[in-house]
Amino acid sequence: MARIITLTTDFGLRDPYQGAMKGAILSINPEAGLIDITHLIAPGNILEGAFVLFESCGFFPRGTIHLGVVDPGVGGERRPILLETEDCIFVGPDNGLFSIAAKGKVRRVIHLTKKEYFRSEVSSTFHGRDIFGPVAAHLSLGADPGVLGEETGSFNEVELPATEKRGGAIYGAVIYIDSFGNLITNISKVDALGLGGVLEAEINGFSISGLKRTYCDVKKGAPVMLIGSSDFLEIAVSSGRASTELKAKVGDKVLLRPLKR
């Protein structure tokens, strides 16, 4: 069975970089099953990359190799690493890119040091092609993570901003805005439902009341609040763009509380 390698980068889609990285993988394992998650992470935005990996990697088969390259510190001090979890393997820079997805599931952390698994020439600016791609390719051929470097105790982490519970309300924030203009918050389904009663959200002076099930449970153009497909509270506008209508951007505060009667 061809082993799956997913790709999540900030390389963009018009440059030769993702092609070169795919070539470097396929020249080691021509049978690798390459699956693009995205190449459009905002340049150098590790937290955005971490969120996208967190939201997608769990749906892949056990044993999938997730190659992630959002790597503003390429060639500098940051280590190349591999994280093995209960479900999958992450390969990329040790800058927190995998830390949200891997949280609580890490079995082994390997500092990638074995140059025999890298491309023969390693540039100082493109480790996706020269280190991470080749390492992922060798993994897809069955290499044990242990042979690729030295086991190490820790790895760097990034965190989604935390919510705060105070006075029977949850104070959260917009953590991601998707292509539909939907606002994904850091308020979890469990926390939201835990408030009980009919809920009301406030964002940028707009208030939205009542948790709905689908985007079309309100009339067209109206804001709607629901639990999104990733079990976070999401604020949308039916047949519209919440980011535009509610003038929202990543980081904007969201207050959720039981509706006052």
Among 212, 162, 213, smallest CA distance to 185 is for: 162
For residue 21 the two structure tokens come to 């990285």
Q: What span, in angstroms and rounded, lies between the C-alpha atoms of 88 and 94?
A: 17
Instruction: Return the number of the residue (109 or 242) whose C-beta is nearest a second copy.
Output: 242
State the nearest-atom distance from the C-beta of 5 to a second copy, in Å. Answer: 11
Instruction: Return the number of the residue (56 or 152) whose C-beta is nearest a second copy.
Output: 56
State the nearest-atom distance from the C-beta of 181 to a second copy, in Å. Answer: 8
3-state SS, residue 243: helix
Instruction: Return the number of the residue (55 or 84) whose C-beta is nearest a second copy.
Output: 55
State the nearest-atom distance from the C-beta of 203 to a second copy, in Å. Answer: 19
Instruction: Return the number of the residue (18 or 185) whose C-beta is nearest a second copy.
Output: 18
Q: What span, in angstroms and rounded, lies between the C-alpha atoms of 34 and 5?
A: 5
Contacts with 31 (C-beta within 8 Å, 6 or more apart), sequence order: 2, 140
Contacts with 116 (C-beta within 8 Å, 6 or more apart), sequence order: none
Q: What span, in angstroms and rounded, lies between the C-alpha atoms of 58 and 40?
A: 20
State the nearest-atom distance from the C-beta of 215 to a second copy, in Å. Answer: 7
Residues in the chain: 261
State the nearest-atom distance from the C-beta of 16 to a second copy, in Å. Answer: 4
| Count of other CB atoms within 10 angstroms of residue 116 | 9
Instruction: Return the number of the residue (75 or 194) whose C-beta is nearest a second copy.
Output: 75
